Structure 1
């Protein structure tokens, strides 16, 4: 689950002290004070938003000179307990979870327009980990960080598909650091540890790459509203190799393919699933209820019957195949009553953390097969069926997928799009935080979390029925929403899916 942080006043002392530091190493437990307020910090020396009617040549976003702010004057930093190390000129990240992320912002309290650069390329110079997701994040419709969701929906690409490598020597252009490997037909490599002393910056060490690793990603590959953008982010790390970021910018051109850059060309944009955080239908509200404990299923059914509302259940396939849970009969009955049942993986792993596409595919395919076999939720396999060469035609009822733990990276989005036509990847803008509070001495804080996110504008919820107290709170959640004049419905209905049942 993703953590939600309250809106708090920026810590002035931290802002004044940290930017003067020569080097900054932030461990997860050190990170919390300014991580909680980072999105809401503002600066007086920021650049104004450009005139969207005018073209632009380039835009430098971040050269990592400051530990807290990028070159535009806005916050950059990490979330989900990602450890980082900063020195002037670079930011080194130490990921160990695909939920961890690093954002560099365009603006905080307003939407930023990328229209002047829409024909350009996102250029990133980095070193190390190449297995990650690059996202361009859309602001919410109100361009207001106090409204939910914030940040809004991203579109993402896989970094490793856009890498250009060019040979480059050390920063002083000397050749002493290069060995004679090329005489043996191998690429030249830097000796020692890849750094050499350079006194031009107070004795600071600078990298001397055997190859310069760069990304060139067309902004057209990010399918979001470019009139309201909030940040560039790096996330979806599924290995624990560190990554060092040196430069993030927009540039108008890509180097011409040549032997020196391995004849680099821009790859095609791969289809990806559509990430959903909120309902689109006016005055609607949807509950996405993930699997729970079988003994509380009848309690949930009774509340939904008595409140006369319909919801969407996201079912884990292993539970459906386990006859002892009786989940198959339960969900068949819920479908008969008009509720929606949708995909939630096969075994409930953090799918973006899985090391191979084979494992991600297995979670998707087994989930689709199980809903077809156990609940007759329609999909057809076009024969012949081989282990990893499947062609699926999936009906609209099986287009909806909730990723376990809400963890979403581009590999998951791409693989879902391979098996499902135009899949919806359904996360949320309202979190009841049952995963945090249900087994504590203050389970009522689930009510507070729900009321808070609804007040911020969220209208798509996540909850489970793993605990009798949480299951009982479902009635309170429903009545609170009804009291606000919102109509409770299934996820496909709240997204105005033309194939969903009439209201």
Structure 2
């Protein structure tokens, strides 16, 4: 049965957070704050390789954060894609916002920015029953106007400090892995990283993810969701 058949619309203020722990809304975060944690994040989904990625993460017992779009690789109004999001959520991974259409939020007006956020919020509310409190701006692009609106809406803004650049070399997962390896080889110096990858890249799913998890764990890191690595385990969602 499709997740879309379980719609339970509920009108609540968009900034009604469950808790006030974690980073302040509208402030850009680049690294984890909880010692010995590492957050592996995947943008631009849900894509066609989502089930394979979830199978790999489940087999490895690893948790990740998925910054999803409402209408980019496909629409969350599609029951198949909605079910992938629901499976991700039910598996204990974190669902976070990557805007509705993957728009560059620094190139559009305030009303459009709000619409990019609330449209996806409404879709996710129908699918998983809650709305995210964490977001990542497409292209990592932000400015004062965008951050002010994220603060107004109650969004914690997540960037990264490790970019695998997997989209630049989709046929060479070893290039992405080498970035991770170089960052984690001296765990005591670097530490507490947030890594960016894309679930829409086939080799990221089929090859990179398992090898990256092994390398990260070999240095004693615990793979967690973004909210957990920021000391906010109960604050990933709002009603």
* TM-score band w.r.t. shorter chain: 0.7 to 0.9
Matched, 1:418 2:173: no
Secondary structure at 1:478 match in 2: helix
Q: Tell me which residue corresponds to 2:190.
A: 457
TM-score norm. by structure 1 comes to 0.39
1:34-113 alignment runs, 5 A limit: none
What are the equivalent positions in structure 2 for 1:232-247 lying under 5 Å apart? Answer: none
Q: Is the 8 A contact 2:46 2:69 kept in 1?
A: no
Match of 2:21 in 1: none
Contact 2:28–2:157 under 8 Å retained in 1: yes
Q: Secondary structure at the match of 2:49?
A: helix
Question: Residue 351 of structure 1 contacts residue 403 of structure 1 at CA under 8 Å; is this kept in 2?
Answer: yes
In 2, the alpha carbon distance for the partners of 1:486 and 1:287 equals 11
Q: CA distance change for structure 1 residues 375 and 359 in 2, over 3 Å: closer, same or farther? A: same
Secondary structure of the equivalent of 1:295?
A: coil
TM-score by length of 2: 0.79
Q: How does 1:394-409 map to 2 (within 5 A)?
A: 398-409=132-143
For residue 272 of structure 1, report the CA deviation from its aligned partner.
6.0
Cα RMSD for the two superposed structures: 2.0
Matched with 2:220 is 485
Describe the shift of the 1:272–1:301 C-alpha distance in structure 2 as closer, same or farther (beyond 3 A): closer
Q: In 2, Cα distance between the equivalents of 1:425 and 1:328?
A: 24
Q: In 1, Cα distance between the equivalents of 2:227 and 2:165? A: 23
**Compared CA separation, residues 485 and 435, structure 1 to 2 (3 A):** same
Say how many residue pairs are matched: 206
Which residue is 1:429 aligned to? Answer: 161
Q: Which has the higher helix share?
A: 2
**CA shift at 1:437, angstroms?**
1.1
Structure 1 residue 467: Cα displacement: 2.5
- Asked if the contact 2:150–2:156 (Cα under 8 Å) also holds between the matched residues in 1, the reply is no
The one-character-per-residue Cα deviations of 1:245-299 (angstroms, maximum 9, x if unpaired) are xxxxxxxxxxxxxxxxxxxxxxxxxx96021101000000111111346331111
Once residues 400 and 283 of structure 1 are traced to their aligned partners in structure 2, the CA distance between those partners, rounded to angstroms, is 21
Distance change (3 Å), C-alpha of 1:291 and 1:303: same
2-structure distance, mates of 1:453, 1:360? 34
**CA offsets 1:168-187 (integer angstroms, 9 cap, x no match):** xxxxxxxxxxxxxxxxxxxx
Gaps of 5+ in 2: 1-23
State the 1:321 CA deviation: 2.5
Question: Which one scores higher on RCO, CA 8 angstroms, separation ≥ 6?
Answer: 2
In the other structure, the counterpart of 2:118 is 365
The whole-number CA distance in structure 2 between the counterparts of 1:466 and 1:297 is: 8
Which structure has the highest strand share of the two?
1
Give me the whole-angstrom Cα distance separating, in 1, the residues matched to 2:140 and 2:95.
Answer: 17
Tell me the distance in 2 between the aligned counterparts of 1:292 and 1:338: 16
Question: What SS does the aligned partner of 1:281 have?
Answer: coil
| Structure 1 Cα separation of the partners of residues 76 and 235 of structure 2 | 26
Does structure 2 conserve the Cα–Cα contact (< 8 Å) formed by 1:272 and 1:410?
no
Matched, 1:277 2:30: yes
Per-residue CA deviations over 1:332-367 (Å, capped at 9, x if unaligned) read 11211211111110100111122x212112112212
Structure-2 residue corresponding to 1:476: 211
In structure 2, distance between residues paired with 1:491 and 1:443: 23
3-state SS in 2 of match to 1:302: helix
Q: CA deviation at 1:443?
A: 4.0
In 2, the alpha carbon distance for the partners of 1:417 and 1:286 equals 23
Give structure 1 regions of 4+ aligned residues with deviation exceeding 6 angstroms. Answer: none
